Structure 1
Amino acid sequence: MKLSEIAAALDARVEGDETIMIRRAVHPSEAEGPEDLALAMDKDLLALLPGSKAVAVVVAEGAELPPELTGIIRGRIVVKRPRYAMAGLLDVFEKPVHAEPGIHPQAYVAPDAVVAEDASVAPFAYIGPRARIGAGAVVLPHVTVGADAVIGEGSLLHPGARIGERVVLGARCIIHPNAAVGNDGFSFVTPEPGSVESAKTTGRVVGTNVLLRRVNSIGTVILGDDVEIGAGATIDRGTVTATRIGNGTKIDNLVQIGHNVQIGTNCMLCGHVGVAGSTVIGDRVVLAGKVGVADHVKIGSDAVVAANSGVGTDIPAKSVYMGYPAVPRARAFEQYKGLARLKRLFADVVDLKARLHAVDGQGKAPAKPVVAEQD
């Protein structure tokens, strides 16, 4: 592939020789010859170029190459937004998963299932009754697709993915290894008001959970187009209706989505996020790692929640929340500052008490404690 062709795919410009042939994109320290394209969009990587064997590079707009590279680097692609350009570069040089065309003899496909002619179903995959596998979809080994499930065109199901009955995946969804979509919701009820209900209403435990009756989940899960579910993530089906994930939303590894949750488009839920049942999340919301969201909470569109936060109340649109419990960012910083000042405040109070004792003549003043200075 010519350097000019790569630049066109990135909507970037080329400086120097556009005709250089490129075989692969590499870290500058791993370039082995003139067919390697060195990715040096970070200034720290620019410093590695003098020791590289590459003659073509990708750099950020405004970057200056080391002077000693004059005459050695024959061509460069200049990009405006490096991280976005990196996504495009990895598309250009993508190495798709290995998938044999058609249905492998060692796969099980129910007689009434419908599999598109150009779909790929690997050995030891299971396709249940009346399930539908769309055009160009890839089902890798040990995947389970339940009865009446729908897998959209171009979707990719990695080994061990579990797609429950009646679950619907839109086009181009990616389900990573051992993710489970369409589990029953965690829903139980007691014959009489139990400990949870009394704790919520009164703050005390009054009832006793003498019996936990299961609440079945007869709903399903519906994923929009271009949704990605990380390895080991779990998404519970709705109790009566559907748990829904909007177009373009990306869910990281080990995320738990409870029953009846509604998530909008182009959201990002990072690793270890947990969202309890019946929560409604708007569009383009970002939940950083280990955020926990209580049930029946509403999070407005474009909100960002910082890592390790605990969300127990509604969050307005376009706001930044953090902390445990999560509060607006400015308030959280005030709280952290207050905590950092507590030790000094305590010392000041002890000193003030000592002075008062001395003034009032009430005997020997208490010893002033030794307080370590704050960093």
Structure 2
Amino acid sequence: MNDTQVIDLFSPDYAQARRKFMQAAQARGLSVDSHMLPLPGAQGEVLATDVVLDGPADASRMLIVISGVHGVEGFCGSAIQTGMLRMGGAVLPSDTSVLYVHAVNPYGFSHLRRATQENIDLNRNFVDFTKPLPINSGYGEIHDSLLPTQWPPLPDNEARIAEYRERHGVRGLQRAISLGQHSHADGLHYGGLEPAWSNKTFRSILRRYATQVRQLASIDIHTGLGPYGVGERIFASMDEDPAVLASGRRWWGELTSVTTGTSTSIPLTGPIQCALTDECPQARHVGICLEYGTYPMERVSAAMRAEHWLHRHGSGDTAQATGIQQEMKDAFYPDEPDWKHTVWQQGSQVCLQALRGLQEDAALPSLAT
């Protein structure tokens, strides 16, 4: 793709992103399976998780490309999905399909939130709700300091967070904030008390399209952590078989891990990859989260706190509310040509590597289906 074509993959809002994705599918003669969310978008537009299957429905090998788990992060993933569709089906190996799941959290994508309409962080919602829910006592200690009644926060409020960091370290503070919590429904990274609409919808999509798959690859696209424009490849398979990790490294090269502490992320309660394990037990799953850095963590964290503060308390100051929403978008979607080009270059590369990897592993005697 030339420079103009790459920039055109990206959109300024959810409505345009959805339209480009659907047009790319339709230009290829591919049908779009739309799961409608019965709520209006920020501009009154229809909200939906849209699914496109590229390749044979009975393929034994499948790559799933996921965007918008954290709504506002969907600008990036949507562009990669649209670009892959525009590239055409010639890249597909035999007996292989690609399943594009566009805007898993359409409400957050449209309304510039990471959370869903239920204020749920989806990557903390894929837990077994029949069992006792995970406990994150650290979050309870700092909830009111993270989202105080007044914004910007007062110095003594920030001092309480700094004191927690002094006692538990930078990683300890990150864990308390980001691990996931089920105790404060109006808080950050809330995991919910039941499966969210997006959780149930994603599981139904897997049951419809992926029950016959024997070899499964997944790429879950996110933004907000790490150096500007760098797509960190975080190993994201629940299978602890060393051979699965070996396949991931063979396909994609160096991978980081939340369990060993080599990733900018930390272990999460209930990530979306749990659904792949639950709904596709017949498949060998090799997956990554592709996490693109945007701006320094201080800026990203402040934007996320401010947006959650606005959701929790509201603001009578229209200019303040608009500014908070714009900063939230900017923090997770840098509207800059250099960032967009590197996003596409790495994203398309990772997708093509996964397709080659599925084909190569199929030729290994120990993995042949």
Query: Shorter-chain-normalised TM-score: which range?
Result: under 0.3
TM-score by length of 2: 0.21
**Larger helix share, 1 or 2:** 2
Structure with higher RCO (Cα < 8 A, 6+ apart): 2
**Larger strand share, 1 or 2:** 1
TM-score by length of 1: 0.20
In terms of Rg, which structure is larger?
1
